[in-house]
Structure 1
């Protein structure tokens, strides 16, 4: 799968947002509780759909079922100005909302840009949900590309961390650094 620059950039920001919500300062898993709190704030969060879509998209974490993965793979290859609306993804059954997410979707769809945002949220969640399969796919693609001398050395395909990589403290620092850089870029002070 080839990612557009738009989704390539959002992928790490979305994962960083989920990582931030996952544990409290004592290391306890609080993702479910924090997502429930964010979902209650959807009326406020919709104001941030354009500026920080990854911060709003997390409210839909595990809120989609993907019936036609190819449709999502095509979506992830598109740029921000070429994205289909939610109605085109949902009308043909490519993506279905979980019942609990339907009320959240109504609030989003009532806003300007809501159609596009919901498609973006589905794309981000598709990448996150399927990231566990990436190491296997990357290995198979590497074997196929061995004989292709014209192929680039590295694709921008999504690559997930394996369990060993996730335990590597260097990768955690990289995610934290990326998160700090992003927050700094949007105007927040760095934490030191």
Structure 2
């Protein structure tokens, strides 16, 4: 599956957000409670749909059924300015009753159709393309082959991961120093 740049970036961020919501500082699974809280706060979260949709989409987590997976696969290859209208997408999915209520709130927003397209696609990607299912979406980039080669080198041990780690540490220290923090030596 080829993902657009938009969904390539957001699907990673969304997966991380769901993982963040799963457990508290003691390691207890609190996902259900946190999702309920997001749903209660949903109207207040509408201001974030344009600049941080991955923070709002979890309100729909577990509440979307996919009627037309082909439509979702196609949607995942599109950039936001290429999205079809919500009317063309809504028949490809079904929401739980509480999800229908949230969708009505979102669709009342100026950027609501784009957000709802993002919602259903991110939920689809999380459900269908997670690592636990053994498949991983392919990024829509020209350097996919280079990335594969790098991964193979890492697996073969041809790259010195200690040197890579030190390089990252140094780069991080440089960045922190540029931000005004004292450098730890």
TM over 0.5: yes
Aligned mates of 1:63, 1:86 — CA distance in 2 = 18
Match runs of 1:84-103 below 5 Å: 84-90=84-90, 93-103=91-101
1:109 to 97, 107, 110: 107
Query: What TM-score do you get using the length of structure 1 for normalisation?
Result: 0.68
Per-residue deviation, 1:133? 7.0
Per-residue deviation, 1:18? 0.6
Per-residue deviation, 1:136? 4.1
SS at match of 1:12: helix
The change in CA–CA distance for 1:134 and 1:73 in structure 2 (over 3 A counts) is: farther
Aligned mates of 2:145, 2:56 — CA distance in 1 = 34
Identify unmatched segments of 5+ residues in structure 1.
142-151, 157-192
The change in CA–CA distance for 1:25 and 1:136 in structure 2 (over 3 A counts) is: closer
SS at match of 1:29: coil
Q: Which residue of 1 aligns with 2:154?
A: none
Per-residue deviation, 1:153? 2.6
Deviations 1:63-122 (A, max 9, x none): 1110111100000000121112322111xx211112121111111011111011001010
Per-residue deviation, 1:16? 1.1
Query: What TM-score do you get using the length of structure 2 for normalisation?
Result: 0.71
Tell me the C-alpha RMSD between the 2 structures: 2.3
Q: Which residue of 1 aligns with 2:128?
A: 130
Aligned mates of 1:76, 1:134 — CA distance in 2 = 19
SS at match of 2:24: coil
In the alignment, is residue 153 of structure 1 matched against residue 153 of structure 2?
no
Per-residue deviation, 1:40? 0.4
The change in CA–CA distance for 1:32 and 1:113 in structure 2 (over 3 A counts) is: same
Aligned mates of 2:134, 2:34 — CA distance in 1 = 32
Q: Number of residue pairs matched?
A: 143
Aligned mates of 2:14, 2:134 — CA distance in 1 = 22
Q: Which residue of 2 aligns with 1:174?
A: none
The change in CA–CA distance for 1:155 and 1:119 in structure 2 (over 3 A counts) is: farther
Per-residue deviation, 1:134? 7.3
Aligned mates of 2:43, 2:73 — CA distance in 1 = 30
Match runs of 1:1-192 below 5 Å: 1-90=1-90, 93-132=91-130, 136-137=134-135, 153=145
